[in-house]
């Protein structure tokens, strides 16, 4: 099965500023691919290149095996997109707005009911968009992206501006999308916690470069774990664990000491060794918690060298 999205050497400049810098991205079919990066990292520009809305200065994009530059219309038919500016007519109803896109795409009228049902918007279709909440507008945007059941969905910051309930709804929806719609989903975000909860794969972009990409579980498994130690004497605990050859530091906003394990080191075995050493040194320990590093740590680690370059 070809990758749903594949870019090679994708590059785009604005004047002398390089917004997308030789990106090689592979989005596997049926994945939920979290496209992560800080504001200004190059996510939206990359997405516009994927959709053929911008021309690359160099490199290529393939959607479902189709070259976006050479075969623009056929490639565009494979993708539904939700971009930040949704461009709905506020005085028209949700249905009427969807109908405009449906006609352009030459799809049967039944598509409207299908996409409204798929986004849990069936009961709101006859209301004007001006009366919609932001969450409802986002769902209508998703419904429009799903018209014609494209195999690839590209969603640019779909949780932007939503309240916590709207974010939770969207998260649930995104997780179910590959099964519900049989689609591959690329979702961009600067909210790492959000992506961690929905993605099967991640790509991290920093200063226009793709600095890390892969299956989320594999990336996390390859990361070293850490052990947090709570004690009545953090400075002494720090000295003891360092004496035993561990790399450790004080957590800045707490009294805890965090021990960073080497890749492949077994957290529970390390915790037992630490416990023994601290007790022997007379440090009173009230918490000893092995934990896997979050995507936040992964992101910081990946983004930093590029930022310094
Ligand atoms: N039309 C444009 N003209 C000039 N510079 C641009 C243009 N579009 C984007 N840029 C620049 O390219 C860089 C990448 O911007 P881009 O919008 O792709 O980032 P982003 O990761 O999507 O950020 P955000 O989350 O803030 O939208 C930025 O430095 C931005 O200022």
Q: How far apart are CA 301 and CA 309, in angstroms?
A: 14
pLDDT at 306: 45
Kind and range of the H or E run holding 216: helix 216-222
pLDDT at 85: 66
pLDDT at 21: 96
pLDDT at 245: 93
pLDDT beneath 70: ranges in the chain: 85, 252-253, 293-294, 301-309
pLDDT at 234: 93
What tokens appear for 32 in the block?
Answer: 């939920």
What phi and psi, each to the nearest 5 degrees, are found at residue 211? -95, -15
pLDDT at 192: 82
Q: Please give the model's pTM, rounded to 2 decimal places.
A: 0.80
Measured from the Cα of 205, ligand 1's closest atom is 21
Question: What is the residue with the minimal CA distance to atom 14 of ligand 1?
Answer: 42
Q: What residues contact residue 168 under an 8 Å CB cut-off, 6+ apart? A: none
Please determine, for the modelled complex, whether the ipTM score is greater than 0.90: yes
Q: How far apart are CA 213 and CA 186, in angstroms?
A: 13
Question: What residue segments make up the domains of the chain, in order of their start?
Answer: 5-219, 224-291
pLDDT at 251: 78
Q: Pocket residues for ligand 1 (CB within 6 Å)?
A: 14, 17, 19, 37, 39-45, 190
pLDDT at 307: 44
Which CATH number is 224-291's, of 3.30.70.270, 3.60.15.10, 2.160.10.10, 3.20.190.10?
3.30.70.270
pLDDT at 127: 95
CA of 41 to the centre of ligand 1 (A): 7
Q: How far apart are CA 270 and CA 202, in angstroms?
A: 29
Measured from the Cα of 190, ligand 1's closest atom is 25
Q: Which fold, 5-219?
A: Rossmann fold (3.40.50)
Q: What residues contact residue 66 under an 8 Å CB cut-off, 6+ apart? A: 74, 75, 78
Measured from the Cα of 156, ligand 1's closest atom is 22
What tokens appear for 300 in the block?
Answer: 């910081």
SS3 136: helix
CA of 79 to the centre of ligand 1 (A): 22
Measured from the Cα of 45, ligand 1's closest atom is 18
């Amino acid at each position: 099965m070809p990758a749903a999205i594949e870019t090679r050497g994708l590059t785009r400049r604005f004047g002398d500023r390089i917004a997308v810098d030789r990106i090689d991205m592979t989005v596997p079919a049926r994945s939920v691919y979290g496209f992560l990066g800080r504001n200004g990292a190059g996510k939206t520009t990359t997405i516009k290149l994927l959709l053929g809305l911008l021309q690359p200065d160099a490199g290529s994009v393939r959607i479902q095996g189709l070259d976006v530059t050479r075969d623009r219309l056929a490639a565009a038919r494979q993708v539904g997109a939700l971009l930040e500016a949704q461009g709905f007519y506020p005085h028209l109803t949700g249905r009427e707005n969807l109908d405009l896109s449906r006609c352009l795409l030459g799809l049967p009228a039944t598509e409207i009911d299908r996409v409204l049902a798929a986004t849990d918007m069936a009961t709101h279709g006859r209301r004007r968009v001006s009366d919609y909440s932001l969450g409802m507008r986002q769902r209508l945007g998703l419904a429009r992206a799903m018209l014609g059941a494209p195999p690839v969905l590209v969603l640019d910051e779909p949780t932007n501006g939503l309240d916590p309930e709207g974010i939770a709804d969207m998260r649930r929806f995104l997780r179910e999308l590959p099964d519900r719609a049989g689609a591959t989903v690329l979702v961009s975000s600067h909210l790492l916690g959000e992506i961690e909860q929905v993605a099967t794969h991640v790509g991290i972009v920093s200063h226009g470069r793709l600095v890390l990409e892969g299956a989320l579980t594999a990336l996390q498994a390859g990361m070293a774990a850490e052990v947090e130690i709570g004690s009545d004497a953090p400075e002494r605990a720090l000295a003891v664990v360092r004496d035993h050859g561990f790399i450790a530091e004080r957590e800045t906003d707490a009294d805890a000491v965090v021990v960073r394990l080497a890749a492949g080191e077994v957290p529970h075995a390390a915790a037992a060794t630490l416990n023994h050493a601290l007790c022997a040194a007379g440090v009173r320990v009230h918490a000893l918690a092995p934990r896997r590093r979050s995507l936040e740590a992964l992101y910081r680690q990946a983004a930093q060298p590029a930022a310094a370059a």
